[in-house]
Amino acid sequence: MNCPYCQSEVHPDAVVCKTCQRDFYLVKPMMDKIAALEKQLAEVPDTSAQVARIAALELQVQQASEAPATQPQPQPGLGGALADVLGYLVVPLVLLLAAHAAITIVFDLNILYLRVVSIVLPMPFGFLLFRKHARRMLPWFLGVVALALASVIGMSGITSLSDGTPVMPQNNFEWKEVIEYAASIAFSFLTGMLLGSVALVSDSGARGDQPKGPVVRMLSIMIDDGKVSPEKLHAHLKKLQEYTGTLVALGTTIVSIYTGLKNFL
């Protein structure tokens, strides 16, 4: 601490300056406050690291905003899309019709076996379809609905060839049966699609793929004053997506089993 009169250094507890012999009686309280403030300032941590962190994050946001939001994923061309439709929609349709013919006509087994096959068979096709790379869910689900309806109507057509019954439903009860059976097939395929998406997200996280867009990086700056890194936030979002997809897949599985087997339970 310095003397307020001659600026010579004095002891913090001194009441008289040893150099100029001036009394500190009137200015002592103010000198103590100044000393306390100087001590508090000395204890303030260096903010240069925080400033550098903010500058680095701002640079990342700027670079991300100038670049494409995400790396474009290769989308299949017309030939690839047609091959996917044939491999993941037409093939399970043919297998379902073949299973119906084998179970109900060739071997004349209990219809329960057909319902179980109809629930189990579409699921791996949906899984493999969405396991390859990210796809839009809605168009494929509409295709799955068409697959399910075509399967049920095709089964009815096979039965009609065998015993001469009408192909199309004749009353509300038969329509309800058709819709519930088609729903069990569609939700089974949807379960596979969701599980395939979860597996794809999990694999991308294991490879260390990181987001290129500014959204995740902006969130990392806003949350906890930027203490959460974009990479850690992205990992949390991936985990949340995996858990959500798994729960939804469990729900669609339950719906598929219920609609397909409700008459046998």
pLDDT tens sequence across 151-177: 999 999 999 998 889 999 999 999 999
pLDDT, residue 5, reads: 78
> SS3 for 9?
strand
pLDDT, residue 121, reads: 95
pLDDT, residue 202, reads: 76
Angle, helices 122-132 vs 172-206, to 10°: value is: 40
> SS3 for 23?
strand
- The encoded tokens of residue 148 equal 């399910």
CB atoms < 10 A from the CB of 184, how many?
23
More confidently predicted of 131 and 248: 131
Tell how many helices (H) and how many strands (E) occur in the chain: 10, 0
User: Lowest mean pLDDT: which of 21-25, 109-113, 115-119?
Assistant: 21-25
More confidently predicted of 101 and 223: 101
CB atoms < 10 A from the CB of 133, how many?
13
pLDDT (mean) for 24-32: 72
Per-residue pLDDT tens over the stretch 37-87: 777 767 766 667 666 767 776 676 666 555 554 444 555 666 788 999 999
pLDDT, residue 36, reads: 76
pLDDT (mean) for 128-152: 91
Through-space distance between the first and last CA atoms of the chain, rounded to whole angstroms: 89
* One-letter amino acid for residue 16 of the chain: V
Q: What residues contact residue 219 under an 8 Å CB cut-off, 6+ apart?
A: 233
* One-letter amino acid for residue 166 of the chain: P
Surface-to-core class of residue 88, CB atoms within 10 Å of its CB (0-12 exposed, 13-18 middle, 19+ buried)? buried
pLDDT, residue 70, reads: 45
pLDDT (mean) for 88-106: 95
Examine the pLDDT at 220 and tell me if it is beyond 60. no
pLDDT (mean) for 191-202: 86
Tell me the pLDDT of the chain averaged across its residues: 78
pLDDT (mean) for 73-102: 86
pLDDT (mean) for 76-99: 89
